[in-house]
């Protein structure tokens, strides 16, 4: 038995997988939106809470022809109406969708964007979509919010709420916003491209009904929790955000510039999401 354990302990798979680390930079313009000023007009507001989930992947190359923005190279296209699979070597995200205790917040809250309950309430008031309960009553204070979350998750600590806490993005010297990322267990191929995109929340100062929604999150088919006469649908991220990103990228989203290539596992990586897709 000792001999067998010794042999197993020395076994090495020698897989070319590494944990890549770096920074992703989102321009100030991606965190700037027009918001109703409450008096019939609009005002421009820059706020990192406008930064949606950021999806990052490692790819074989960049395609600058097939789309109106840099896009990862694709595999075989079997149907001209369906983009090819990008087959990423690895991927990660900066921020993920999390259910923040109220139905109205399904598919609208991203981790790493809000410090506390009041921060969430303030943001949704800002975009004209106040947080309300099942009866349509606005949630006006953090203690009510906290009580609902403790009840919903059977929790006793704010540390159990992953949608509040330290923010991912900080403002840099250029006025843009940056965050660290780790892309774990990623296959390394010399010259591979690091690319990503940010799903921007829908925000319309003139029609707020869909404000705060994202194209990379869906409510249909996701986890539903019954509660007496009500049921809660939590929402879930789409599964092909990195394999078929063009299915999720819509007008207003920000896309990687396609200039980050890996020549060594020790490279200091910076991915700039500096290209805005206008829908044309």
Q: pLDDT tens digits, residue range 251-276?
A: 999 999 999 999 999 999 999 999 99
DSSP helix/strand/coil, 38: coil
Q: How confident is the model at residue 14 (pLDDT cuts 50, 70, 90)?
A: low
Whether residue 38 is predicted with pLDDT greater than 90 in this model: the reply is: no
Confidence of residue 2 (pLDDT cuts 50, 70, 90): very low
Query: Does the pLDDT at position 7 exceed 50?
Result: no
Look at the pTM and tell me if it is higher than 0.75.
Answer: yes
The HSE-up count of residue 237 (CA atoms within 13 Å, CB side) is 18
The burial class, CB within 10 Å (0-12 / 13-18 / 19+), for 13 is exposed
User: Binning pLDDT at 50, 70 and 90, where does residue 13 land?
Assistant: low
């Amino acid at each position: 038995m000792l001999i067998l354990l010794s042999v197993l302990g020395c076994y090495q798979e020698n897989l070319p997988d590494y944990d890549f680390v770096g920074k992703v930079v989102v321009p100030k313009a991606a965190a700037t939106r027009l918001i109703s000023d409450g008096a019939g007009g609009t005002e421009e507001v820059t706020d990192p809470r406008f930064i949606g989930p950021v999806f990052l992947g490692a790819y074989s190359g960049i395609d600058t022809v097939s789309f109106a923005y840099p896009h990862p190279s694709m595999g075989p296209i079997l149907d001209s109406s369906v983009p090819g699979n990008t087959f990423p070597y690895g991927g990660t995200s900066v921020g993920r969708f999390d259910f923040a205790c109220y139905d109205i917040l399904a598919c609208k809250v991203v981790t790493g964007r809000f410090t506390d309950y009041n921060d969430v309430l303030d943001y949704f008031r800002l975009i004209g979509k106040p947080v309300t309960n099942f009866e349509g009553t606005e949630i006006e204070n953090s203690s009510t919010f906290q009580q609902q979350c403790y009840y919903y998750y059977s929790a006793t600590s704010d540390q159990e709420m992953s949608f509040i806490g330290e923010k991912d993005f900080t403002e840099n010297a250029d006025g843009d916003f940056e965050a660290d990322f780790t892309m774990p267990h990623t296959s390394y191929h010399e010259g591979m491209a690091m690319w990503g995109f940010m799903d921007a929340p829908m925000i319309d100062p003139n029609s707020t009904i869909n404000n705060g929604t994202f194209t990379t999150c869906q409510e249909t088919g996701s986890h539903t929790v019954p509660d007496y006469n009500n049921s809660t649908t939590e929402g879930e991220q789409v599964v092909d955000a990195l394999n078929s990103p063009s299915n999720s990228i819509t007008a207003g989203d920000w896309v990687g510039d396609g200039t980050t290539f890996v020549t060594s596992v020790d490279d200091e990586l910076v991915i700039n999401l500096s290209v805005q897709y206008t829908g044309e």
